[in-house]
Structure 1
Amino acid sequence: MKISDLMHTTDRFLSLEFFPPKGQTEWPSFFKQVNQLAGLNPLFVSVTYGAGGKTQDNTLEIASSVHEQFGLTTMSHLTCVGAEKKGLAEYIDKLLDAGIENILALRGDMPSAGAPDVWTDFSYASDLVQFVKKRWPEVCVGTACYPDAHPESSSIEEDLEWTRHKLSTGSDFAITQLFFDVRRYQDLVLRLRALQINTPIIPGVLPVLSMQSLNRILALCGANIPLKLYLELQTAYETGGDKAVRAKGVEIARGQIKELLALGAPGIHLYTLNNADICLEILTDLPMLDG
């Protein structure tokens, strides 16, 4: 089932993101997490994809298993890093053979030891979108966008232009990178609508589980966090360690979800961190996700 079709059947939904475990010995535990969250009836789930396709086989097998075993509409991530047309075409054909017709097209991050030639046949996510849509027009293709602007963009205006271009090449929807200020999401959507871009923009919500993980994430993706929220998390850490940070992180994520749905977001894409307990804690008693 195509995500773009499913989105027309509801005015608000939940979607979930998983990452493939590194080793197959971890797969039983992973599928246990998926099973716990399948009961939330997500509109779709996505499975991430390593830079340069390092976890490509795992992504394919995990995505296929999630689709077959749990009956969940599944989306596979694809990145441009090290991707060649022939290999990517073979991978997409395998996805379709497995009944998966949804792809999230990403440029991907430069590997830490990578050289400029990691961009072979595809340099930008928009190249990937055009390639997929031309050869497999039946495939639903999503892309990413950045409420806080991509860290490599020189300005918010430049980032908005790249986002506009990417969505204009055939993207069926976009999922945002994590953010903590709901106003950034609202501003991004309003700016895109002013440019006559009406593609659905799904906000991505990532729970904070520790100060260490928060600081690492902020450094990697260039997201900003309001000083008030950061101080609340820091105070929680100083008084109760990471256990208190997790509780505050759940509170912040729940608040984000409520605000985003009140603003008219089409749904919520929750970065699960492969942790069913934290997701269930965040989503408890949020009836606005039932519709």
Structure 2
Amino acid sequence: LLPPLKGNSIRQVFAVIDRLKEFDPKYINITTHHSESMYKEDAEGVYRKISVRKRPGSVAIAAAIQNKYGIKAIPHIISQGFSKEETEYALIDLSFLGVTDLLLLRGDTKNLDALQRNLDSHPHASGLQEQVNDFNRGVSFDGSSLTPPEIPFSYGMACYPEKHEESPNMESELFYTKMKVQNGADYLVTQMFFDNRKYFEFVDRCRA
């Protein structure tokens, strides 16, 4: 589910779910988006580069869906465009709200501006996974202690049957895919693929 654009009502989200309820969805994924850079003309007619976030985050929407419909909500947590501290506060908020299932992703890197690239964030989803695992154990991103959540987070991660564009080969892809599972991922969600044979080959090699 895509959060509504800033300025719109959550009633738009509820209207979509109302139409889907008859199909008895077991869960609903909510995407997350970092801010983007754009140029805006000021009062003097000069265009200046600013950072704009077009959509709200997934925390409040996930809680609203789960509380209103009783359907498991799975917010996306992305590492790019968000600092480790921001991620920790999102985890705290989600834990307080009773949202305990996540999808951990690196997120899009193409639209990051220089400031976002310099954030104290995780360059890969593996670092985000480590932070969530630490949070479940009561360890903050800075190494200090915090109270572990009453219900530890469970989470899924991404996999790539046709290889991630940055992977040198399928052997490397399989290695990192298996590492995600070994380090605690409960399930994997494929990115879009176009050859079913490669998907089944990928599954067989993961299980080997």
Matches within 5 A, 1:245-264: none
Query: Could you say which structure has the greater relative contact order, defined with CA pairs below 8 angstroms and 6 or more residues apart?
Result: 1
2:189 maps to which of 163, 169, 175 = 175
Q: 1-side partners of 2:170 and 2:59: how far apart?
A: 35
Match of 1:79? 78
Structure that is richer in helix per residue: 1
Aligned to 2:42: none
Change in CA separation of 1:79 and 1:110 when aligned onto 2, cut-off 3 Å? same
Residues 142 and 173, structure 1, Cα contact 8 Å, conserved in 2:
yes
What is the identity percentage for the equivalent residue pairs of Structure 1 and Structure 2?
28
Partner of 2:92: 93
1:256-280 deviations in Å (ceiling 9; x for gaps): xxxxxxxxxxxxxxxxxxxxxxxxx
| TM-score normalised per structure 1 | 0.56
- CA displacement, residues 100-142 of structure 1 (integer Å, 9 cap, x when unaligned): 0011111112132534835633121111111111212511011
Q: 1:98 to 1:52 in 2, by over 3 A?
A: same
Structure 2 segments unaligned to the other structure (5+ residues): 37-52, 138-151
1:25 to 1, 4, 8: 8
Name the structure with the higher strand share: 2
Matches for 1:25-174 after TM superposition, within 5 Å: 25=8, 27-51=10-34, 54=53, 57-115=56-114, 117-118=117-118, 120-136=120-136, 138-174=152-188
Aligned-partner SS, 2:189: strand
Map Cα deviations across residues 35-66 of structure 1 (whole Å, 9 max, x no partner): 11122222211100003694684312211111
2:180 partner SS: helix
Asked if the contact 2:6–2:54 (Cα under 8 Å) also holds between the matched residues in 1, the reply is no
Q: What is the count of residue pairs matched by the alignment? A: 177
Q: Could you tell me whether the CA contact under 8 Å between 1:35 and 1:70 is conserved in 2?
A: no
What CA RMSD, in Å, does the superposition of the two structures yield over aligned residues? 2.2
**Aligned letter for 2:121?**
D
The answer for the alignment partner of 1:205 in structure 2 is none
Q: Any stretches of 5+ residues in structure 1 without a counterpart?
A: 1-17, 195-291
Residue 93 of structure 1 deviates from its aligned partner by: 1.0
Query: Cα–Cα, structure 1 residues 119 and 107, in superposed 2: closer, same or farther, change >3 Å?
Result: farther
* Structure 2 residue aligned with 1:217: none
Query: What letter matches 1:128 in structure 2?
Result: L
What is the identity, as a one-letter code, of the residue corresponding to 2:8? T
Runs of 4+ deviating beyond 6 Å: none
